[in-house]
Amino acid sequence: MKTHRIICPDDWHLHLRDGAVLRAVIEASSSWCRRAIIMPNLVPPVTSTADAEAYRQRIKAADTAGSGFTPLMVLYLTEQTDPADVVAGFQAGIVTAVKLYPAGATTNSASGVRDMRAVWPVLEAMQTHNIPLLIHGEVTDPEIDIFDREAVFIDKVLIPLRAQFPKLKIVLEHITTAQAADYVLSAGEYQAATVTPHHLLINRNAYLAGGIKPHYYCLPVAKRETHRQALVAALMKDSGKLFLGTDSAPHIDSAKLQPCGCAGIFNAPNTMACLAQLFENHHHLDRLEAFCSRYGPAFYGLDVNTQTLVLSRHDTAQPVPEAVMTDEGQITAFDPQMDIYWSVAGIE
């Protein structure tokens, strides 16, 4: 059996939820990554430093295996966010970044921003103190086709925002389009993006062809095959501007399989296996480490991890991970619809 070793990765976009779901899913991430940017869209959302610290303690308590997993906490940006609280939380080492959800863009985003000018004082303080802004990059105008909302966001919101705050660190999260890849690769040093495993592996046929498949429904939605190919091509350029953010988003199956099913794909159990297969298929397994373990820390100004992740390459395709059971019901893991010959052997 062949093995491949890389610096232990980080996940720069992760949903852990809370309560029973948090306790059930945390091992799926802590088994392979050392740090993760934790999304703040709980109910109610994590909007203050005090909220972030309380949530961080709940995450640490849920890590009963004592893995050493470090949650990097994020504040949910609202039009009432206090710039002083953001700065104080960042300087205290509690807050790592702030998340912009356009109101109504995704799960639990109703408290998000409707008027960008209302949050300019927060963004000014963040630019001054080098605090990253993480963006769910979609407009929510119902007149804009859902497949165009990312591209329109870049033109109508992000480009003007960048002009107003040229030195604000911005991560355009879970990019899905050729337009987003082109924008990020051509932008300056203060702009980066995360890419998910599922947007690198599936296109919109996964959830629309042969019947509706709710487990592949996420936001932003997967796009045409040409966009998936553009993301992969951008990744293989090894630009240093793109890094791993799984957007692993667990939902109980009963919440996915209903007339108005929740958006989100739970990919944490097989993220590294899927990515190793993708990079191997494109003859760039040597670049897996940079995407997963180096570029994210560089953008955030952090050291790379000191431990090593060991991946095993099997002679036969490996099964899709089993569903995770919680006290509220089961959570189905991501099926990449392709043969995966890799698995995580462990951390050294």
* Whole-number Å distance between alpha carbons of 260 and 239: 39
Task: Pick the closest to residue 83 from 114, 47, 42, 30 (CA basis).
Answer: 47
CA distance 319 to 317: 7
DSSP annotation of 114 reads: S
Closest Cα to residue 15, out of 150, 164, 174, 159? 174
Q: Which residues pair with 76 in a beta bridge?
A: 99
State the Cα–Cα distance between residues 50 and 247, nearest whole angstrom. Answer: 24
Residues in the chain: 348
185 CB burial (10 A radius; 0-12, 13-18, 19+): middle
Residue 103 in contact with residue 140, Cβ under 8 Å? yes
Residues marked active site are found at 247
Whole-angstrom distance, CA of residue 108 vs CA of residue 101: 9
Say if residue 251 is exposed, middle or buried (CB neighbours under 10 Å; 0-12, 13-18, 19+): buried
Cα distance between residue 108 and residue 204, in whole Å: 23
**Amino acid identity for residue 13 in this structure:** H
| Residue-wise burial string across 91-117, b where 16 or more C-beta atoms lie within 10 A, e elsewhere | eeebbbbbbbbbeebbbbbebbbeeee
Contacts of 2 (CB under 8 A, 6+ apart): 312, 313
